[in-house]
């Protein structure tokens, strides 16, 4: 397993980008995409073309189910693992049971082949707008984040903020949506981020989350939600949300900081890694402003690849089971407040 990690890091370094069109720590606008006329078409947020595909017979979208999941980029068989992850997300999809709820999905550690597979998926094409069809807006040439946004939601803005303090090409992906049924809804800002991994000195996660928070607290938006793999593995990570005037959904709904019931990493890690590092609450949902979290849950436990040969190879790498990723996902259901 250690050799796999080393090879993955080397691959990321080899694909490191040179000249890029953005300035670090500042917003860099990018288009979103919607499936229409048998192709993914670019949408410029706030343009007249960017209309939610609302059905007058359906109730207005009043709540948001936000799912965030890190699908490990280092393991083999990325297509099989991402395909299984999408099918699991489809079973979790809240809108068919509650038409007044919209769904947004944050994915961390996507590789280029994931973008292709996601763009070709029939459920994704029917249900979502997506932020990325290729990796041109990633700071890394190998992996990055992408967001899937319910087709019924109007997108007012989409931009990335590429961190200046990063050795792993991390960024924050922001999407402004409209939620609620009064006067077209209120603007809610969503941030999909994957903070710096490992315990490095000086640490980069504090300045990264501070950059995100500066955009979450923008007075132009009614409320804001951030989620992702925050790699919370050190003591200072426990108070980064309060340092930045953010609420932690798990804690606000009664979870306890050191309770294993909230842990999202380790249960599905390689056995030797779990024995070495234990389990931890790496993945979080944070929020501020005029939104309220009604539900917080973990999901994604026990999802496995199906192919027999692939299952055997994953177990041979040191896993108890052929899981699609080493992380559990986190879900928050939100409503707009006055």
* pLDDT score, position 8: 75
Fill in the DSSP letter of residue 100: T
With contact defined as beta carbons under 8 Å apart, do 86 and 78 qualify?
no
Q: pLDDT band at residue 14, thresholds of 50, 70 and 90? A: confident
Least confident of 35-49, 101-115, 161-175, 193-207: 35-49
* pLDDT score, position 46: 60
Please check the confidence at residue 11 and state whether its pLDDT lies above 90: no
H helices of the chain, in order, are: 2-14, 78-92, 112-120, 122-127, 205-216, 240-243, 249-252, 271-277, 308-316
* pLDDT score, position 54: 43
* Mean pLDDT score of the chain: 93
**Residue owning tokens 């953010």:** 246
Stretch 125-140: mean pLDDT = 97
Parallel, antiparallel, or unpaired for β 63-70 and 39-43?
A: unpaired
Q: pLDDT band at residue 213, thresholds of 50, 70 and 90? A: very high
Residue 296: phi and psi, rounded to 5, are -130, 130
* Two structure tokens written together for 21: 């069109």
Fill in the DSSP letter of residue 329: E
SS3 content of the chain, % helix, strand, coil (to 5): 25, 30, 45
Chain mean position to CA 304:
20
What would the pLDDT profile of 146-195 be if each residue is shown by its tens digit?
999 999 999 999 999 999 999 999 999 999 999 987 667 899 999 999 99
- Report which of 268, 287, 295 is spatially closest to residue 279, judged by C-alpha positions: 268
What would the pLDDT profile of 217-236 be if each residue is shown by its tens digit?
999 999 999 999 999 999 99
Q: Tell me the Cα Rg of the chain.
A: 19
| More confident position, 94 or 157 | 157
Q: pLDDT band at residue 13, thresholds of 50, 70 and 90? A: confident
- Report which of 101, 30, 110, 128 is spatially closest to residue 69, judged by C-alpha positions: 110
* pLDDT score, position 338: 81
Q: pLDDT band at residue 316, thresholds of 50, 70 and 90? A: very high
How buried is residue 143: exposed, middle or buried, by Cβ count under 10 Å (0-12/13-18/19+)?
Answer: buried
* pLDDT score, position 2: 67
What would the pLDDT profile of 268-292 be if each residue is shown by its tens digit?
999 999 999 999 999 999 999 999 9
> Rounded to whole angstroms, how far apart are CA atoms 236 and 243?
10
* pLDDT score, position 52: 47
Stretch 125-138: mean pLDDT = 98
* Domain 56-336 belongs in CATH node 3.60.10.10: yes
**What value, to the nearest 5°, has the Cα angle with vertex 295 and ends 290 and 296?**
105
Please check the confidence at residue 44 and state whether its pLDDT lies above 90: no
Phi and psi based region of residue 27 (left: phi greater than 0; alpha: psi -120 to 50; beta: remaining): beta
The proportion of the chain whose per-residue pLDDT surpasses 70, expressed as a percent, equals 94
Stretch 98-115: mean pLDDT = 95
> Rounded to whole angstroms, how far apart are CA atoms 133 and 112?
9
> Rounded to whole angstroms, how far apart are CA atoms 198 and 113?
25
Distant-in-sequence, close-in-space partners of 243: CB < 8 Å, separation ≥ 6: 206, 209, 210
What is the residue extent of each domain of the chain? 56-336
Stretch 254-264: mean pLDDT = 97
Q: pLDDT band at residue 1, thresholds of 50, 70 and 90? A: low
> Rounded to whole angstroms, how far apart are CA atoms 201 and 76?
31
């Amino acid at each position: 397993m250690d050799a796999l990690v080393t090879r993955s890091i080397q691959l990321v370094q080899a694909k490191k980008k040179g000249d890029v069109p953005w300035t670090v720590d500042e917003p860099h606008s990018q288009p979103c995409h919607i499936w229409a006329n048998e192709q993914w078409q670019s949408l410029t947020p706030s343009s007249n073309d960017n209309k939610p595909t609302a059905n007058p017979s359906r109730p207005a979208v009043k709540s948001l189910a936000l799912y965030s999941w890190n699908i490990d980029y280092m393991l083999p068989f990325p297509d099989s693992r991402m395909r299984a992850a999408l099918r699991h997300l489809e079973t979790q999809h809240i809108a068919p049971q509650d038409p007044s709820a919209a769904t947004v999905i944050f994915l961390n550690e996507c590789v280029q082949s994931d973008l292709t597979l996601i763009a070709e998926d029939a459920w994704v094409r029917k249900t979502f707008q997506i932020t990325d069809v290729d990796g041109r807006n990633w700071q890394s040439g190998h992996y990055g984040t992408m967001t899937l946004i319910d087709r019924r939601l109007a997108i007012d803005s989409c931009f990335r903020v590429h961190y200046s303090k990063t050795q792993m090409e991390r960024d924050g992906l922001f999407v402004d949506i409209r939620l609620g049924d009064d006067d077209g809804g209120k603007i809610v800002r969503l941030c999909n981020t994957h903070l710096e991994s490992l315990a490095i000195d000086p640490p980069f996660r504090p300045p990264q989350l501070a950059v995100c928070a500066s955009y979450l607290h923008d007075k132009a938006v009614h409320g804001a939600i951030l989620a992702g793999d925050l790699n919370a593995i050190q003591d200072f990570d426990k108070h980064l949300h309060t340092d930045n005037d953010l609420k932690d959904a798990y804690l606000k709904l009664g979870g306890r900081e050191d309770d294993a019931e909230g842990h999202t990493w380790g249960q599905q890690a390689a056995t030797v890694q779990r024995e070495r590092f234990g389990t931890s609450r790496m993945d979080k949902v944070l929020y501020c402003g005029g939104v309220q979290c009604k539900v917080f849950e973990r999901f994604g436990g026990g999802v496995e690849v199906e192919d027999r040969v692939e299952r055997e190879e994953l177990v041979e790498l040191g896993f108890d089971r052929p899981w699609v990723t080493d992380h559990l996902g986190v879900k928050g259901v939100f409503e707009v407040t006055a």
